[in-house]
């Protein structure tokens, strides 16, 4: 009787391990995607709040997005946000120098209805959607935020 109960408990534990691993992978994917989108939102909002000019691409998605401003000491900044092969990049150049490239998010959905920006009536609206993992472990997040650039407040 003890062997039967031990075998039953062992069988249940063995069957539960793959499900627990799947839950952990899904949770990890969700955490990764949420962190990447939070990072992207931080940089876009920071740069947009400084912007004196906001120039989204005239295409459907509005990307690449170009933000520029001049500081009090006449230092010029230009920041370009662009999608390349499912990754969102930030290119920052100072006084027309070589841009510094920074990766912000991966697994970004490049379709215009999922990721893109618009600028209207002094408000920059940016939406970004990313998916990490596949099948039952996939996690999709969408973040939408609005920013009033410095020159349009």
**pLDDT for the residue numbered 135:** 86
pTM for the structure as a whole = 0.86
**pLDDT for the residue numbered 108:** 95
How far out from the chain centre does Cα 116 lie?
11
Contacts of 91 (CB under 8 A, 6+ apart): 79, 80, 81, 82, 99, 100, 101, 102
Which residue spans within 19-115 are E strands per DSSP?
Answer: 53-56, 65-70, 76-84, 87-94, 100-105
**pLDDT for the residue numbered 21:** 83
* Chunked mean pLDDT (size 10), the chain, 153 residues: 81 76 88 94 96 95 96 97 95 97 94 94 95 89 93 69
Helices (H), 51-121: none
Contact, 23 vs 136, CB < 8 A?
A: no
**pLDDT for the residue numbered 73:** 97
Phi, psi of 140 (to 5 degrees): -120, 135
Q: In what order do the strands lie in the sheet with 116-120?
A: 116-120, 123-132, 139-147
Distance CA 41, CA 84 (A): 17
Distance CA 106, CA 23 (A): 21
**pLDDT for the residue numbered 153:** 61
């Amino acid at each position: 009787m003890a062997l039967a109960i031990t075998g039953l408990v062992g069988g249940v534990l063995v069957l539960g391990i793959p499900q627990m691993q799947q839950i952990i992978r899904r949770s990890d994917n969700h955490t990764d995607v949420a962190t990447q989108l939070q990072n992207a939102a931080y940089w876009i909002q920071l740069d947009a709040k400084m912007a004196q000019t906001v120039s989204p691409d005239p295409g459907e998605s509005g990307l690449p997005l170009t933000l520029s401003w001049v500081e009090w000491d006449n230092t010029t900044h230009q920041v370009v946000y662009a999608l390349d092969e499912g990754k969102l990049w930030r290119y920052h150049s100072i006084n027309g120098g070589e841009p510094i490239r920074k990766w912000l998010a991966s697994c970004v959905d490049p379709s215009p209805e999922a990721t893109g920006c618009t600028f209207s009536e002094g408000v920059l609206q940016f939406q970004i959607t990313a998916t990490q993992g596949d099948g039952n472990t996939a996690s999709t997040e969408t973040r939408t935020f609005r920013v009033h650039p410095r020159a349009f407040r």
